[in-house]
Amino acid sequence: MRTLPVCSNLFTPLLLLVVLSGCAGRLNPNCDWTNNPALPLELRKPADERHLTNDAMIAEELAIRHADTRRGHRSGHFAGMDAYVQTREQCMSKLFAVVADNHSVQPQQVRDLVGGRPAAFDVAVLLSFAILYALVSNVLGRGMVGRFPRDEPVAALAATAITSAMVSVGGLIMFTLWAATLEMMRIGNTHMSYRVGRVPWGHHPTELFVGGVVLFWLIVLLHHLATSHKLHRLRDEEPIRTRSMT
């Protein structure tokens, strides 16, 4: 029962970030900045830097939507990638200039913040999936420990090694879909464009795979320890039950 508050505390920032990022849904494809009024910012203040980073992200998203609408593959006016990129960059430069003017900073300072990622969001994505992965691994691990007990070490180790690798590969595939879905919800667009290269998970598949294997082994080990403890307790209680029956 104690896990409920923990899960709630974990998913709250994730859901909050997704909901807040839905503000991007108000963006239009016309390359017009209507997000917020003019407000001088001091980038030495963390809150002001976060504000400007969010504005830079929204400006980039608006520019991509504008290019998709005007020169995208499905726009009916596609004239090659060069024209598409030019349209996107022209809009982005215009919006960066507007944001910079609104907040009394330089356009290059706005551009430099493009690509900044909210650490809390990335941590929440990773840990939320780790919980789901652990729940699935717990079910599989319990069944495997029942099928391959510790008194069959060779079979138990082989089964754990094979199963952990298969589960981790499957988990890696599912995590890619999980993270991509939440990322698209965060930016408010299913077209990730070049931004897919910024997602940290794509750069660490080996680490994620190893992490999945290690987590599965830890869960199986805990099940073995719990089973061993239960057997020891039953052995200790057996003489007591025998004497009580006599």
Closest to 179 measured CA to CA, from 102, 123, 110, 98: 123
Annotate 106-126 with b (16+ C-beta within 10 A) or e (fewer): ebebbbebbeeebeebbebbb
Between CA 39 and CA 36 the distance in angstroms is: 9
Q: Is the model's pTM score more than 0.85?
A: no
pLDDT in tens, the chain (246 residues): 334 344 444 444 444 444 444 444 456 788 988 867 788 888 889 999 989 998 998 899 999 999 999 888 888 888 889 999 999 999 999 999 999 999 999 999 999 998 878 888 899 999 999 999 999 999 999 988 888 877 788 988 999 999 999 999 999 999 999 999 998 888 888 888 888 888 888 889 999 999 999 999 999 999 888 877 776 665 655 555 555 555
pLDDT given for residue 234 in this prediction: 55
Q: Which amino acid is at 129?
A: F
Place of tokens 């294997």: 213
Domain map of the chain by residue range?
Answer: 31-112, 119-245
pLDDT given for residue 73 in this prediction: 83
